[in-house]
Amino acid sequence: MVKRTHDEGSVEPDSQGPPHAKLRRDSPEASPPEPMRILSWNVETPVPFLQLPATQARSATGAGVVAGSHPGQLRELLRRHDFPDFACLQEVRARHTDKQWIPALRLAANYGAHDTGPKYTLFHSLNRAPRGQRHFGVATYAREPHTVVAAREVEWDAEGRVLILELQAGWALVNVYALNGSEYMWRDPLGHAAPKTRNERKREFNRLLLEECVALQRRGLRLVLIGDFNISLTKRDCFPRLRTEYPHGLARAEFREQFIPGLDVVDVFRELHPQTRAYSWFAKGKPQGKDCARVDYALVESGLRENVVDITYLEDPAERGQSDHAPLLLIMKGMTVADQSSQGSDAQDVQEQDEAE
């Protein structure tokens, strides 16, 4: 059984899957609800906004990064962008055994003793390795956790690269931190899978994620995938050049010709802004724009394309702080439950004690 992780509890759907409502169809007589906002950000390391004990801080600090140096950084980002409904972080660099990191991650989105803004609930998928360096890991913060009926990791990933939230309104938010392909070796943190190159694992990861998402669709869930996919789709998405040589070209071709059509999803930024150059990754130590790529995406099922209001890459260096990635902000309408009151008895209880603590 895959562990369902939540900062307050665990969610275990029944064998038929959790109950879901239909997406809201706004009535012309009623005032339309506020659009839903999803922020996604590969933080590279969260330690500047994590308040950790001194021993943990020393082991977590990289060159030029001071643990706890900016404890309000994440909360300030959320406030600047009107407290999004969901905030999806990648590369949170924690393990399931890091008892002190999980409360620190929870606090980071809610920091401020006198802050009157909304509070967030933390869901996470973390590296299951019992020891070793802290890498990988994703976290999704929900402003209204009662809308989440299931939160889960996936059985085929032990690095904490995928987190799925199934929403009461009949759609799934999939937070993704895909591998960056290279010829270096990839090793399963639990030692269950045979070693292979990171390029081989990257392609395998994409195939497994495709299968996982197809299973969600078969259960009637619409898809919103967001995060760092570590792949650029076109020449317009890179500067100075797109890597077309093997095996990068092969991984890209499979992603464009199998993954995207296989799930019937669209790159909504390119749909809305077909000629615009925007980037989400910037090489450190170089002037902005001299070495950059768009590798973070929102991939939305085509049936939800009309629900997309806009998507923006927050490229200002002040927005990305210590990270080499810029956050992105996706805005969608009509993504809430059609009749919230009628769903109250069906939503599963998510207020149990967190197994990870």
CATH assignment at residue 49? 3.60.10.10
Catalytic residue annotation: 177, 228, 325
The answer to whether position 28 is within a domain reads no
The answer to whether position 150 is within a domain reads yes
Q: Sorting pLDDT into bands at 50, 70 and 90, what band is 17?
A: low
The answer to whether position 80 is within a domain reads yes
The answer to whether position 4 is within a domain reads no
Cβ contacts of 330 within 8 Å, gap of 6 or more = 37, 38, 39, 40, 224, 226, 268, 298, 300, 308, 310, 311
To the nearest whole percent, how much of the chain has pLDDT over 70?
83
The whole-number average pLDDT for the span 307-331 is 97
The whole-number average pLDDT for the span 310-322 is 96
How far is Cα 79 from Cα 109, in angstroms, rounded to an integer?
Answer: 10
**Is 166 within any annotated ligand binding site?**
no
**Is 324 within any annotated ligand binding site?**
yes
Mean of all residue pLDDT scores within the chain: 87
The answer to whether position 297 is within a domain reads yes
Residue 247: is the preceding peptide bond cis (ω within 30°)?
A: yes
What pLDDT does residue 112 have?
81
- H helix or E strand, kind and range, residue 138: strand 138-142
Domain total for the chain?
A: 1
Q: Sorting pLDDT into bands at 50, 70 and 90, what band is 339?
A: very low
**Is 237 within any annotated ligand binding site?**
no
What pLDDT does residue 29 have?
59
**Is 157 within any annotated ligand binding site?**
no
How far is Cα 198 from Cα 332, in angstroms, rounded to an integer?
Answer: 34
**Is 206 within any annotated ligand binding site?**
no
The answer to whether position 286 is within a domain reads yes
**Is 91 within any annotated ligand binding site?**
yes
The CA angle 50-56-61, to the nearest 5 degrees, is 70
To the nearest whole percent, how much of the chain has pLDDT over 90?
73
CA proximity to 86, closest of 174, 27, 25 = 174
Please give the model's pTM, rounded to 2 decimal places. Answer: 0.89
The answer to whether position 356 is within a domain reads no
User: What is the tens place of the pLDDT at every residue in 169-179?
Assistant: 999 999 999 99
What pLDDT does residue 272 have?
97
User: What is the tens place of the pLDDT at every residue in 30-62?
Assistant: 667 899 999 999 999 999 999 988 666 655 656
The residue segments making up the domain with residue 287 are 36-332
The answer to whether position 337 is within a domain reads no
